[in-house]
Structure 1
Amino acid sequence: MIDVGIIGATGYAGVELIRILHGHPQVHIRALGSVSFEGQDISDIYPSLAGICPQKLLATDEVIDACQVIFASVPHGVSEEIGRKCVDQDKLLIDLGADFRLTDPEDYKEWYKLEYKDPELHKQSVYSIPELHREKVKGAKIIGNPGCYPTSIALGLFPALKACVIDPDTIVIDSKSGVTGAGRGLSQTSHYPDCNEAFSPYKIASHRHTPEIEQTISQIVGRDVLITFVPHLLPVNRGIVSTIYSKLKTPLSPKEVHELYAHTYQGEQFVRVMKEGQAANLKNVRGSNYCDISLHVDTRTNRLIVVSTIDNMVKGAAGQAIQNMNLALGFPEDMGLHLAPLCF
């Protein structure tokens, strides 16, 4: 059994890690950390965990000292110090924040208004969407877990980009996320009277996930690519739907596109390519580690339209982090992640 700890355990992604890791057969949740609620029982914050995870919330250093694997679900700018302590103690850090996602420090400085304090540490880190980067993960000591929007978008675009059937300079991405994507902290936009019965774009062409999306697309294509990305806030708890538009280089039929995606993702346990004529719906992935992808061709405009949907708290955060842990430790990639989606 591997002793694991969660720093930032009272956030939405942190408590989702607890829920999923509780059913993992090869790990033991040894320690939970929280700056805001240190000393309290986790069940005082989340009564649903009463009798399931009877643990007091500890300081960050106590979690690191007690565990072999550390999950950090903390704001950007915090994980570097945690990463240094983990590396020095030969422990695995899986960071669900933004500190180890971007390879270019100038991008981090521009979009997050901070600088890397420990550049050598970043050279030891690996960014991993498992379906795209799994060969890099085994033996890694720091894993940058992708953002939720970038995960849905990269999985939605990968087959078409890899096969060079679309023009990457024409990509336009329209994404919608549930309110949990904003985190547990209070804000006006996620306040119930403002988000209920509402639907609005936000951070138009300025969202911090933009450089991460461009980084992944550029690596697949082999050159720098800029995209148009507009996120929206849905009045639901969880889930992401990304609708992605791009120009086909040559006309393809819906059947040809479907065959391309089905072949690319053949054998992938957590990517489900839907049947022709179906449309992906976030309702069908809630609570699971699946990404559902539906494919549509606008023959009149010669555009490919990809709809990609995930649960932002599972495949977009905690589930994918556990998938990365499994890869790093040599466990079966799907271990502990056979979570059937909620039906309602």
Structure 2
Amino acid sequence: MSAFFDVAHYDGQSAVKRKVEVLVVGQYFYLAENERRSGPFAFADVEYVTKQGEADVYGLNGRDGWRLTLSGPVPSELTALLPAPRNYGGWVDRLGLGKAAFAFTLTSAVAIAVALFSPQWLAPLIPDSVDDRLGDALVGDFGGRFCHTPAGDAALNKLVASLDDAPQDLRVEVANIDMLNAVALPGGNVILFDGLLKQARSPDEVAGVLAHEIGHVREKHVMQALLRQMGLAVVLGGVDGNKGAVVNNMLAMSYSRSAEAEADAHSMKVLGNANISPIGTASFFDRLSALDGSAGVAKGNAGITGYLSSHPLSASRKDAFEKSIVKGKNYTPALTPSEWTELKTMCAQDRKAKSGLGFDFN
């Protein structure tokens, strides 16, 4: 039996601070105050609570408010029986602060790497059926904003068929929204905005932009971006009832620089295969790159920032398309003048198509 003096004790039943002696008997101890003694208490039930200055505070399992405050030199036999003090937390104290900090840094780096790069290898693993269902659920008829006329649809179908070997896997639509934009969405959905058609100077410009968006679909960039921005919960768990918010988020979805480069490369390749001159796309990017990052946009180009927000542009992209031009090659226009007119005016002709930027889906 040994005694330890200068111990403060609260019994949990009153706010009285008591000065007691600790009497150790094997795996148990008693607390003695004058002629009063309480216990026995099992060391196995003692829990480390906190540190107050130079003192360590212990509690007792199942006894709320019970506290034992030890300060000063502690006998070795008592130290061996008490739980070890905790400075930062269980696993940090077990590892040590230096090792714990290294482990945390390593774990953080791995987590960041997973967030950045896992979509690239996860996207191809998502079944096409999931991609299609997600696209159907999110896009639908785009709130009745898709434009259709027999001649306009025929021109659009001709353009898509010239740019892709499996056009049946794609659903390309024109939306009656006056914004210079084009987006690729899940399920092979590609949407050209009417503002893009209005401001395009030739069908070759539209062909280059459309091929770029199809490139995002074929390279699985759409699912990668969706996984990166919205997470697996939306992809695998379905979307909630607020489709408008989800679609708006997806319209703002951006791709990485490498994905944009791959989509550009896809566009240049299919334009060459279709014998469509890339000079139109180079001209398109030239006009947009002049506005890249600018705060003020002329009124006539008010919708152009929509494209800039999700498609980072630069003069280098214009240069790349210009370099892909084969000198002396006899290119064919993407559409005939009459087909181009029908496509460009399709939304103006379709009186049934709703207009506007809202996505108030039910």
Q: Which is greater in Rg?
A: 2
**Bigger proportion of residues as helix:** 2
TM-score interval for Structure 1 and Structure 2 normalised by the shorter chain: under 0.3
TM-score (norm 2): 0.23
